[in-house]
Amino acid sequence: MTNSFNSIEFKNNKLILLDQTKLPLKETYIKTDEYERIAIAIERLEVRGAPAIGISAAYAIALSFKNITIVQKNHFEIVYERLWKTRPTAVNLFWALNRMKKVFELNKNSKNIYNILVSEAIQIHNEDVIMCDQIAANGLQIFKKKSTVLTHCNTGKLATGGGGTAFNVINYGFKKGKVKFVHADETRPLLQGSRLTAFELSKSGIPFSINTDSTAAFLMQNNKIDLVITGADRIALNGDSANKIGTYNLAVLCKHHNIPFYIAAPTSTIDQKCKSGKNIQIEFRDKKEINSFKKEKITSEEYEVFSPAFDVTPNNLITGIITEKKLHLPPYNFRIL
């Protein structure tokens, strides 16, 4: 079985997204040239993962100019603001939007503005493909022996424009004989691990099992895990990293059991305006994601729900942060990048 699918594709002037809410039971695609539909896809997590969100938003900006003959004065600002509000934590979204904004400002009077913006979005996409491979290559050095790895959430092709971040490190390691088995946290409440990472591990032919998030401690206690690697949605200048809720739990467990804990992410995930994790805004999700699943109620709607989508792992719990540039070791100071 090969990893032969595209999660994001731009073809015939339309964006094609693999609907991740249907996986792994159905492989269905969203095909659109409407920026509003892409914004909704980001909000619904039909497309997710920090790099993938940024790429999709870049295409959305471009496509908003596709069928316009006369550009209204505030058109770009309206589209920009709509996309800006879709997800608050993943910094790649804002990085991509601001990059598209710079290109627009330089070319806003051009009659070829649509093609110029499409070209920039494609460039962002292509750069991510390259960065994913560079991250994976730099990550090979974390494997000191043939290892059993635990990972959380989804960080593969479904989360990026290329082969992934943490997942791509695992995939490269497997191909090089450095990874023998993967434990995939199910990643409550939306099960990105059991639905998406398992899907990708299966496609890649990597031996794996799914475990509940609360099983990680048991695995570590019984010496079943050699290292943990996850992605990140935002990294502060001091190395504090926001990732899917449950990541901080893993870092604390790794510290207690003396197991290396790594983050893998492109440098676009490093927020140059964010000094520490205290400055990271955490997204809170709708209570329906906890009290229901696939629109089926699993507990009373009357119960209150506390549902942060992310948590922040302090830099002192992170063994290393892998980017496309290198494996960064503590103490972290990303101002010098």
Q: Rounded mean pLDDT of 256-283? A: 97
Q: Of 133, 153, 186, which residue is a domain's last?
A: 133
Residues 122, 149: one domain?
Answer: no
* Mean pLDDT rounded to a whole number for the chain: 95
Burial of residue 9 (number of CB atoms within 10 Å: 0-12, 13-18, 19+): middle
Q: Are 317 and 254 in contact (CB under 8 A)?
A: yes
**Whole-number pLDDT of residue 69:** 67
**Whole-number pLDDT of residue 78:** 96
SS3 state at 103: helix
Q: Of 108, 133, 158, which residue is a domain's last?
A: 133
Question: 113 in a domain, yes or no?
Answer: yes
Catalytic residue among 233, 240, 271, 311: 233
* Single-letter amino acid, residue 326: K
Q: Are 75 and 63 in contact (CB under 8 A)?
A: no
Question: 264 in a domain, yes or no?
Answer: yes
Residues 65, 17: one domain?
Answer: yes
At 67, the pLDDT band (50, 70, 90 cuts) reads: confident
**Whole-number pLDDT of residue 293:** 86
Residues 123, 169: one domain?
Answer: no
| CATH number of the domain bearing residue 268 | 3.40.50.10470
Residues 192, 64: one domain?
Answer: no
**Whole-number pLDDT of residue 337:** 59
Residues 167, 250: one domain?
Answer: yes
> What CA–CA distance (Å, rounded) separates 132 from 163?
6
Question: 3 in a domain, yes or no?
Answer: no
**Whole-number pLDDT of residue 1:** 41
Closest listed residue to residue 118, CA positions, set 58, 62, 65: 62
Q: Are 234 and 91 in contact (CB under 8 A)?
A: yes
> What CA–CA distance (Å, rounded) separates 79 from 204?
37
H/E run at residue 332: none
| Order of all β-strands in the sheet with 327-328 | 208-211, 179-185, 147-151, 227-230, 261-264, 320-322, 327-328
Residues 118, 147: one domain?
Answer: no
Residues 157, 281: one domain?
Answer: yes
Q: What single DSSP character describes residue 194?
A: I
Residues 117, 187: one domain?
Answer: no
CA quadruple 107, 92, 16, 9: dihedral sign: positive
Q: Of 113, 133, 153, which residue is a domain's last?
A: 133
| CATH number of the domain bearing residue 67 | 1.20.120.420
The CA angle 325-276-151, to the nearest 5 degrees, is: 60
Question: 54 in a domain, yes or no?
Answer: yes
Question: 176 in a domain, yes or no?
Answer: yes
Residues 227, 118: one domain?
Answer: no
What are the CA-CA distances from residue 324 to residues 129, 141, 315 (Å)?
11, 13, 19
Least confident of 123-127, 222-226, 294-298, 324-328: 294-298
At 226, the pLDDT band (50, 70, 90 cuts) reads: very high
Question: 2 in a domain, yes or no?
Answer: no
Residues 89, 165: one domain?
Answer: no
- pLDDT for 108 beyond 80: yes
> What CA–CA distance (Å, rounded) separates 63 from 232?
28
> What CA–CA distance (Å, rounded) separates 184 from 195?
10
Q: Give the tens place of pLDDT for each residue, 271-320.
A: 999 999 999 999 999 999 999 988 899 999 999 999 999 999 999 999 99
For 9-21, the DSSP string reads EEETTEEEEE-TT
Q: Rounded mean pLDDT of 184-204? A: 97
Q: Rounded mean pLDDT of 143-169? A: 97
H/E run at residue 227: strand 227-230
> What CA–CA distance (Å, rounded) separates 315 from 240?
5
- pLDDT for 23 beyond 90: yes
233 tagged catalytic: yes
Number of domains in the chain: 2
Q: Are 14 and 31 in contact (CB under 8 A)?
A: yes
**Whole-number pLDDT of residue 336:** 64
The range of the structural domain enclosing residue 264 comes to 141-336
Residues 188, 81: one domain?
Answer: no
Question: 181 in a domain, yes or no?
Answer: yes
Closest listed residue to residue 227, CA positions, set 153, 303, 141: 141
Residues 17, 114: one domain?
Answer: yes
Contacts of 155 (CB under 8 A, 6+ apart): 49, 164, 165, 166, 167, 168, 197, 230, 231, 264
SS3 state at 37: helix
Question: 1 in a domain, yes or no?
Answer: no
At 73, the pLDDT band (50, 70, 90 cuts) reads: confident
